[in-house]
Amino acid sequence: MKLILGIETSCDETSVALTRPNGTRVHQVTASQVEIHRPFRGVVPEIAARQHLALLPVIYESLMEKAGYDLKDVDLIAVTHGPGLVAALLVGVAFARGLAVASQTSLVGVNHLEGHLFSPFLGKKVPEEFLGLVVSGSHASIYQVRRDQIRRLNMNRDDAPGEAFDKVARLLKLPYPGGPEIDRLSASGDENAYPFKMPRMSDGSLDFSFSGIKSAVSRHVRRESARLFDPSGTLSSRGADLAASFQEAVVEHLMDRVTVYSREFPMPDLAVSGGVAANSRLREKLSEFGDREGVRIHYPENDVTMDNASMIAFRGAMVLREGRLPDDPFELDADPRLGQR
């Protein structure tokens, strides 16, 4: 296999890429819709789908032109078919199916979260065994990976961590997406100013839960709005304290699960991915953890941290190597809850 075309449209990034089977990138074009969704302080699914529809053919042409390749040079088309927003996924899947049928190229549907899971290893050797933490705007899970076996150890019961960052940012009148804003503001805040109770499941499960932390922020905002915002409506230094304390609670909750699972399944490598993997406090805590426990922490490169097509191409080639057969281009469907049941 020489070249893989990756296509990603599961949320608010339209991305296409050409990679080698080991994930080495030939070229990637990503169009972010952040500016379009910003006025709504969150992703509007219908707008996302319409944007994908308008952008995908254009960025596909631009990818092929800039990379200097043609569809006949492509051996495999890999497309995200879930989980994600159904209307958004359908655009990528329909486009990929059309290309596959027209050019008689093999097609494979890729799980978006598995794309993130392996994204730290693009162009590198994938460790035989590792733990993976995937933290994004719609999911949070820890995985145990052993060769071609992927076992999901936990998942988020309610809000995903990125979603909690975005919702809290909205409460604090900060722009979308909230994660980078809260990350930046927290540097000037006191993370111990507001104590948060750590989520605890009544059934003792080690799933993630971020909605309690988010609701606690909402209560503080209701009670002391006058202290949190200046008269002009911008966040005060007390507001920055609340943002920093919220971020600290989210990071502490993530680190608690990472610590428990890495003691239960000791492995020398931990791969951390998804949009929230960019969080600087999380990285600080993971680095302390890695030094203390002798665990190597792997992150994706910058341009494959957010949603991107290179990780989808890489994972697509991998699943075929592991023995999965290509999908029927007349049958492959979008599945918004793929792997989540």
Nearest distance in Å: CB 247, ligand KG4: 7
Comparison of 114 and 307: residue with beta carbon closer to Zn ion: 307
Alpha-carbon distances of 264 from 48, 85, 153, 157, 165, rounded to whole Å: 40, 34, 11, 21, 29
| Stretch near ligand KG4 under the rule CB under 6 A, chosen from 121-129, 173-181, 205-213, 234-242 | 173-181
**Distance separating alpha carbons of residues 92 and 79, to the nearest angstrom:** 7
| Stretch near ligand KG4 under the rule CB under 6 A, chosen from 63-71, 88-96, 122-130, 160-168 | 160-168
Binding residue for ligand KG4, selected from 114, 159, 183, 241, defined by CB under 6 A: 183
Binding residue for ligand KG4, selected from 5, 140, 145, 306, defined by CB under 6 A: 306
Binding residue for ligand KG4, selected from 121, 165, 246, 261, defined by CB under 6 A: 165
Backbone angles phi, psi at 144, to 5 degrees: -110, 120
| Stretch near ligand KG4 under the rule CB under 6 A, chosen from 54-62, 70-78, 103-111, 131-139 | 131-139
Q: Judge contact between 7 and 96, C-beta under 8 A.
A: yes
166 scored as a contact of ligand KG4 (CB under 6 A): yes
316 scored as a contact of ligand KG4 (CB under 6 A): no
Q: Judge contact between 236 and 230, C-beta under 8 A.
A: yes
Residues numbered 75-104 forming contacts with ligand KG4, rule: CB under 6 A: none
Distance of CA 246 to the CA centre of its chain: 20
Report which of 224, 204, 207 is spatially closest to residue 216, judged by C-alpha positions. 224
Comparison of 105 and 273: residue with beta carbon closer to Zn ion: 273
**Distance separating alpha carbons of residues 151 and 16, to the nearest angstrom:** 28
Nearest distance in Å: CB 297, ligand KG4: 16
Backbone angles phi, psi at 265, to 5 degrees: -125, 75
> Which among ligand KG4, Zn ion, none contacts residue 279 (Cβ within 5 to 8 A by kind)?
ligand KG4
Amino acid letter, 174? L
**Distance separating alpha carbons of residues 329 and 93, to the nearest angstrom:** 9
42 scored as a contact of ligand KG4 (CB under 6 A): no
Report which of 16, 22, 21 is spatially closest to residue 4, judged by C-alpha positions. 21
Establish whether the linkage from the previous residue to 177 is cis, with ω within 30° of 0.
yes
120 scored as a contact of ligand KG4 (CB under 6 A): no
Binding residue for ligand KG4, selected from 114, 307, 327, 335, defined by CB under 6 A: 307
| Stretch near ligand KG4 under the rule CB under 6 A, chosen from 147-155, 226-234, 263-271, 275-283 | 275-283
Q: What's the start-to-end Cα distance of the chain, in Å?
A: 33
Q: Judge contact between 85 and 11, C-beta under 8 A.
A: yes
| Stretch near ligand KG4 under the rule CB under 6 A, chosen from 57-65, 145-153, 178-186, 328-336 | 178-186
276 scored as a contact of ligand KG4 (CB under 6 A): yes
279 scored as a contact of ligand KG4 (CB under 6 A): yes
List of residues contacting Zn ion (CB under 5 A): 136, 307
Report which of 334, 276, 335 is spatially closest to residue 307, judged by C-alpha positions. 276
**Positions that interact with ligand KG4 (CB under 6 A):** 11, 136-138, 162, 165-166, 177-180, 183, 274-276, 278-279, 306-307
